[in-house]
Structure 1
Amino acid sequence: MNILFVTHYTGLGGANIAMLNLIRQYKKRNIGTYVIMPEGSKGLREKLEDLEIEYAQIRMPWWVGDGEEGSLKSWKRYLSNFRGALEICPYVRKWRIDIIHTNSTVVAAGLLAARMTRRLHVWHLREDLSNYGWKFCLNDKKVKKWFHNSDRVIVISKACERIYEKYLDLEKTVLIYDGAQIDSPKEVPVLEDGVFHMLYLGGMSLSKGYQHILEALVLLKQRTEKRFRLWMPGCRENGRANKELEEFIEVHRLEEAIEPMEYMDREQLDQFRYGMDLFIMASSKEMFGLVTVEAMLSGVPVVASDTGANPELIRNGENGYLYPYGSAKALAEKIQEIMETEDLGNVIEQARAEAQERFSMQSCAEQTIDIYRGILKNSDMGYRC
């Protein structure tokens, strides 16, 4: 069995990390795996080379953007997907691909290439377009038709399915949570004693809710004399913090409470996480939350907003904590409650056990491979090279 992944970017965000996790499992099972990605390199290319995975880079078109459906810009975007599909087709034949697996909501060239070459197609929906201000370049009827043309659609959460259900054939739609795995740290970071250390990931993106966390810290400072510090990887570049963040810290005198940091790669982050007392997930519409699961596996308590897929992962007071999205006051109260709880052992162990059981990479890979086998078994498509 040969699988071709199509991804819309070259960075190491959640979607590509989840794809790499699948690829590692496929290699163990001797499943041929290949990747098509856009031009450029922001980390993915190096990871694929380390795994000895063959890949190609093309001018990857998106079928989403910030333009209005029906505009000239949208029509150009729509037509560019056929050009992208034509670039993919030679690789489908060269690598003798059986199934094209589009690892993103925002590209449709994989589906078109599958139909041009009479291969099977799996569409893995991951992103909430509204978080980025994106829209499909087609009207709802045509979007629905394209999704229905895929042999299977995988959604990564019930929240993800709710967003796209008006476009989907639910009989061909399958829920598979992403798998996660972390390595034991080679060295646990040594951080200042007597300080409650918190971790936030997501940069200066409004959809990730950083603004609510900052507001909560202002309130928390008024509520407690205990020392705390929020670590923010990805919010400092070339030695300088984000200007807006710098100004906020200065105005509210939070120099000792907020620590903007340079970008961390996955290995650095996995190690750094072990020094944390709390992980904060404040997103408005998180479609899964791979970093949330990684925190659970690391034994770091999680406090998360009650939106998106967060309630599918976290049950308040049992394996983590939830607060009403957008309420800085509620978040500050929840953080203070956690800071003042002497023993979080039961919550931590419950979270770790559930994460290991529900979100293992092995389980995710097996469920996905079962989909491949099912559509191959029921397919009457032959190669048309």
Structure 2
Amino acid sequence: MKLFLVGDFPEDNKAYGGVQGVLVNMANELVKRADIELVLVSTSSNSGFAKFEKICSVYRLGFRSSFLQARKEFRDIVIKENPDIIHLQGVVPGVLLYRSSYKKIFVVTQHAILSEERLLQVTSKRKMLFRIKEVVEDYYLNKVKNIIFISEYNKGIYFKKNGKITDVNSELIVNPVNEIFFKKPQALESQVSNEMYFVGEIKKRKGLHVLIQALHLLDRKGIDCKLHVIGGYKEMEYKREIDDLIGSLNIAEKVIFCGWKNQSEVLAYAENIPVFVLPSFQETLPLSIAEAMTQGKIVVATDICGIPEMIKNHESGYLFPKGNPEKLADVLELVFQNQDKQKVVSDNAKSASKRFEPKTVIERTINFYERILS
């Protein structure tokens, strides 16, 4: 089977998570398969492909320069390579490559829920941009007939919006985690007490301000802990808000900003940090939670969207109401003050994370391809 894997690949495989991380994780597993002839197509001309160009065909499209030119280039590549399946990770902007002639073999994995993310943008310009993306996504997803959903959450939204469409061929398949996260983790009891970390783009939707407020509440209770923030800012307005908040609460020494790190760097940096926190206001099925679970971290996250599909509260992690720093502080206090009771939660997280193993995910994905071709 000749497979086109299409999306916004990172530069030189330096994936920082999200859709880029999924693309790299899938490619890592697919190149091992003798039954798959893999062709990687990036919607960014900056993608490095340093690892993959030695073992499979790779193409780069100047999508951001001109999507019309990119569409033409992509059509020429399709004619040249004649793929059995074209699989796009993420919808906008890559879905603009879609043509009706690809209809039977074109597969889309939907990740973001743009209608929800639009509401959480911090500027009018960003809200307008997301509205445009939302219109484009709605238009093309009604044309695409092979769709992979990564959670019941985004599957439910799609069918609520579109009704019971009988000619849509769909499957629910979770995102794969990079196999490096499945290496044997440090024992929980040997990790640094009262430390936690956050991974992701630093923007308002991710709720870092809620976590910082909770950290302050813990400090007022006399619970000494530290927060490591792994990631970079996407919204400068939000950076000013975070800087002002940390300054006003006088907790600068408790918050360590680590900058962007790729997957292997995150794994190494967080090796001795026992608690992962994601206080997001909206998520479909966050890869960062799955990565933390494979390492047996104590995951604390909001009880929104697809996250409860990943975590059973007080069994394989902890959930709290979005935007509520008091409840988050209560959960973290429970975790930090009862660390001897967390091994069961850690073991349950590792067990639950097996569904994210790349080999398992790729096997289910190929079964979906075969169903399409049959």
Cα distance between partner residues in 2 of 1:269 and 1:235:
13
Query: Is residue 100–residue 111 contact of structure 1 (8 Å, CA) maintained in 2?
Result: no
Task: Report what 1:52 is aligned to.
Answer: 55
Output one character per residue of 1:23-43: Cα deviation in whole Å (capped at 9) or x when no partner.
Answer: 2222221211112223343x6
Change in Cα spacing, 1:61 to 1:100, as seen in structure 2 (3 Å) is: farther
Query: 1:301: Cα distance to partner?
Result: 0.4
Query: 1:228: Cα distance to partner?
Result: 0.5
Task: Report what 2:37 is aligned to.
Answer: 32
Query: Is residue 182–residue 297 contact of structure 1 (8 Å, CA) maintained in 2?
Result: no
Task: Report what 2:323 is aligned to.
Answer: 326
Task: Report what 1:93 is aligned to.
Answer: 79
TM-score (norm 1): 0.81
Task: Report what 1:16 is aligned to.
Answer: 20
Output one character per residue of 1:46-103: Cα deviation in whole Å (capped at 9) or x when no partner.
Answer: 3534x633222223269xxxxxxxxxxxxxxxxx755532220111122231111111
Cα distance between partner residues in 2 of 1:305 and 1:322:
5
Query: 1:261: Cα distance to partner?
Result: 1.2
1:149 is the counterpart of 2:134: no
Task: Report what 1:265 is aligned to.
Answer: 262
Task: Report what 1:383 is aligned to.
Answer: none
Task: Report what 1:120 is aligned to.
Answer: 105
Which piece of structure 1 moves more, 165-174 or 18-27?
Answer: 165-174
1:291 is the counterpart of 2:296: no
1:216 is the counterpart of 2:202: no
Cα distance between partner residues in 2 of 1:199 and 1:118:
43
Change in Cα spacing, 1:10 to 1:201, as seen in structure 2 (3 Å) is: same
Cα distance between partner residues in 2 of 1:184 and 1:314:
18
Query: Is residue 31–residue 55 contact of structure 2 (8 Å, CA) maintained in 1?
Result: no
Output one character per residue of 1:114-159: Cα deviation in whole Å (capped at 9) or x when no partner.
Answer: x34676111110112132541356869x935x32432410011111
Unaligned runs of 5+ in 2: 119-126
Cα distance between partner residues in 1 of 2:265 and 2:5:
26
Change in Cα spacing, 1:59 to 1:167, as seen in structure 2 (3 Å) is: farther
- Percent identity for Structure 1 against Structure 2: 23
Query: Is residue 45–residue 63 contact of structure 2 (8 Å, CA) maintained in 1?
Result: no
Cα distance between partner residues in 1 of 2:9 and 2:110:
15
Q: CA RMSD in A?
A: 3.0
Task: Report what 1:198 is aligned to.
Answer: 196
Cα distance between partner residues in 2 of 1:312 and 1:280:
16
Task: Report what 2:124 is aligned to.
Answer: none
Aligned AA (2:131): K
Output one character per residue of 1:166-223: Cα deviation in whole Å (capped at 9) or x when no partner.
Answer: 24736522111112233477997xxx99751100012321111111111111211112
1:4 is the counterpart of 2:7: no
Query: Is residue 178–residue 359 contact of structure 1 (8 Å, CA) maintained in 2?
Result: yes
For residue 232 of structure 1, give the secondary structure of its aligned residue in structure 2: strand
TM-score (norm 2): 0.83
> Among residues 76, 88, 107, which one is paired with 1:102 in the alignment?
88
Query: 1:8: Cα distance to partner?
Result: 3.8
Cα distance between partner residues in 1 of 2:364 and 2:246:
46
Query: Is residue 6–residue 110 contact of structure 1 (8 Å, CA) maintained in 2?
Result: no
Q: How many residues align?
A: 346
For residue 182 of structure 1, give the secondary structure of its aligned residue in structure 2: helix
Query: Is residue 19–residue 89 contact of structure 2 (8 Å, CA) maintained in 1?
Result: yes
Cα distance between partner residues in 2 of 1:194 and 1:373:
47
Aligned AA (2:73): E
For residue 58 of structure 2, give the secondary structure of its aligned residue in structure 1: strand
1:158 is the counterpart of 2:155: no
Query: 1:291: Cα distance to partner?
Result: 1.0
Cα distance between partner residues in 2 of 1:320 and 1:137:
34
Aligned AA (1:17): G
Aligned AA (1:28): K
> Among residues 116, 131, 134, which one is paired with 1:135 in the alignment?
131
Task: Report what 2:98 is aligned to.
Answer: 111
Aligned AA (2:97): G
Query: Is residue 231–residue 261 contact of structure 2 (8 Å, CA) maintained in 1?
Result: yes
Change in Cα spacing, 1:365 to 1:316, as seen in structure 2 (3 Å) is: same
Change in Cα spacing, 1:44 to 1:305, as seen in structure 2 (3 Å) is: farther
Normalized per residue, the structure richer in helix is 2
